[in-house]
Amino acid sequence: MTDPLRLHQNDALVLGRLTYTGLILLFFPLKSPRSLTALGAEHFHPPLGPFALFESYPPLGLINATTCATFLFFALWVAGWGKWIVGAGLTLCLTSTSGFFYSAGKIDHDFIVLLLPFFLTLPGVKPKRALLFCLAVYFASSGMAKAIGGWLDLNTQSTLSWALTYFHAYGKTEPFLAWSLANLPGWGWEILDQLTVWFELCVPLALLPPLRRWIVLAIPLFHLFTVLLFGIDFVRLLLVYLPLTFLYCVRADRERLALSPRVQRALIALCCLGLLHGFIHYLLRENYWSLPFPVQPPGLLLFPLFEAVLIIGVLLQRRARRQSAAKSAEPAPPRL
């Protein structure tokens, strides 16, 4: 029987690839610019980066070819074939379709999530550290944008501005939103501004081992706060959080696989069937198939799911290190 809290490194990588692909297939469909090609160059407004080198959307044939390659790379990546070449190809296809999709003017905050397939196969890089780097870039880029945008100005309360917008313009009725607008003073909103920016800028410190545990455990609390106050969820970050959680459950002393090769092959085959279904649906319907996320607001699922499992994994790792240190400190038995 598989112990979910004592995984081999290979178990965690297989489960990470499966959950990443499964979440995209079921709930977070790929972003395709297929429907935007008819808009023409006058509606092409690419974000800063390599897509600014293009003058318009690519031809429909190129988009379809890239989509076909995406599904093929997904199947190879899930099966563990091709290593970093397949990971790089999948990331390139994902970023290409997503980049052109967001060239209609919308800002893409999830670009770093698309680098995960490449990071998980990058030679010489520890998978856990690669995923922490993804989170660091995600939060740091958001914090830098807020800092440049004036959130650290003591004369303005950007959080209050967003709260008023969500309450009056969007009709949000989150548990803490109405209460905060009625009771929180101006200096309280200013504290929220400062804490938000500095917390996001400090997340990259999770790459340092002494601070990693505390920052990783604090991230879900930050998410829970934003959900309860604004209803803003970070549910797409489950694409990073779930593989990271599996890696936190890896035990260095685990010599045998927790998932038998037969179970792995069955799960991979099921995921590939899902990819085939998604590809056929795309060809016939010209869009992607997906299910509505089962929890509303979906971000409320993030806190208990990620925090509970991650805390258990961190505590078990800490206990294992103490036991290992205690064993190494025991005097060696005398030689006969």
* Per-residue pLDDT tens over the stretch 59-114: 889 999 999 999 999 999 999 998 899 999 999 999 998 888 888 876 666 778 89
Range 267-291 average pLDDT: 90
CB of 30 closer than 8 Å to CB of 24: yes
Amino acid at site 183 = N
Contacts of 185 (CB under 8 A, 6+ apart): none
CB of 18 closer than 8 Å to CB of 264: no
The helix (H) or strand (E) run that includes residue 118 is helix 116-121
Which of the two residues, 187 and 292, has the higher pLDDT score? 187
* pLDDT on residue 194: 95
Same domain flag for 58 and 156? no
pLDDT tens track for 110-150: 778 899 999 999 988 899 899 999 989 999 988 998 999 88
Same domain flag for 243 and 179? yes
Determine, yes or no, domain membership for 246. yes
In the predicted structure, residue 332 carries a pLDDT above the cut 90: no
Same domain flag for 193 and 242? yes
* Euclidean distance between CA atoms 192 and 209, whole angstroms: 27
Range 272-289 average pLDDT: 89
Same domain flag for 219 and 309? yes
Determine, yes or no, domain membership for 17. no
Q: How many CB atoms lie within 10 A of CB 89?
A: 19
CB of 100 closer than 8 Å to CB of 36: yes
Same domain flag for 264 and 251? no
Of 32, 106, 36, the residue nearest 69 (C-alpha): 32
pLDDT tens track for 25-62: 988 888 788 878 777 788 888 877 788 888 888 888 99
* pLDDT on residue 1: 42
Determine, yes or no, domain membership for 12. no
Determine, yes or no, domain membership for 20. no
Question: Residue 7, SS3?
Answer: strand
Percent of the chain with pLDDT over 90: 38
Range 272-298 average pLDDT: 85
* Euclidean distance between CA atoms 28 and 219, whole angstroms: 21
* Euclidean distance between CA atoms 236 and 28, whole angstroms: 7
CB of 128 closer than 8 Å to CB of 213: no
* Euclidean distance between CA atoms 85 and 65, whole angstroms: 18
Which of the two residues, 134 and 332, has the higher pLDDT score? 134
Same domain flag for 174 and 308? yes
Inter-axis angle of helices 261-285 and 9-26, to 10 degrees? 20
Confidence label for 2 from pLDDT (cuts 50, 70 and 90): very low
Same domain flag for 243 and 274? no
Q: Buried b / exposed e across 281-298, counting CB within 10 Å, b at 16+?
A: ebeeeeebbeeebeeebb
pLDDT tens track for 204-220: 998 888 888 888 888 88
Q: Any idea which of 28-42, 183-197, 284-298, 313-327 has the lowest mean pLDDT?
A: 313-327
Same domain flag for 193 and 117? no
* pLDDT on residue 335: 58
Range 280-285 average pLDDT: 88
Question: Residue 250, SS3?
Answer: strand
Q: Per the structure, how many domains does the chain have?
A: 2
Asked whether the bond before 297 is cis by omega within 30 degrees of 0, the reply is: yes
Determine, yes or no, domain membership for 14. no
CB of 126 closer than 8 Å to CB of 92: no
Confidence label for 322 from pLDDT (cuts 50, 70 and 90): confident
Which of the two residues, 214 and 312, has the higher pLDDT score? 214
Percent of the chain with pLDDT over 70: 93
Determine, yes or no, domain membership for 68. yes
Same domain flag for 160 and 204? yes
In the predicted structure, residue 294 carries a pLDDT above the cut 90: no
Determine, yes or no, domain membership for 145. yes
Range list of β-strands (E), 131-229: none
Same domain flag for 191 and 59? no
* pLDDT on residue 89: 96
Same domain flag for 63 and 212? no
In whole angstroms, how large is the CA radius of gyration of the chain? 22
Determine, yes or no, domain membership for 65. yes
Q: What is the mean pLDDT of the chain?
A: 85
Domain hosting 215: range is 126-258+296-324
Q: Which residues sit opposite 7 in a β-bridge?
A: 250
Same domain flag for 145 and 101? no
* pLDDT on residue 185: 92
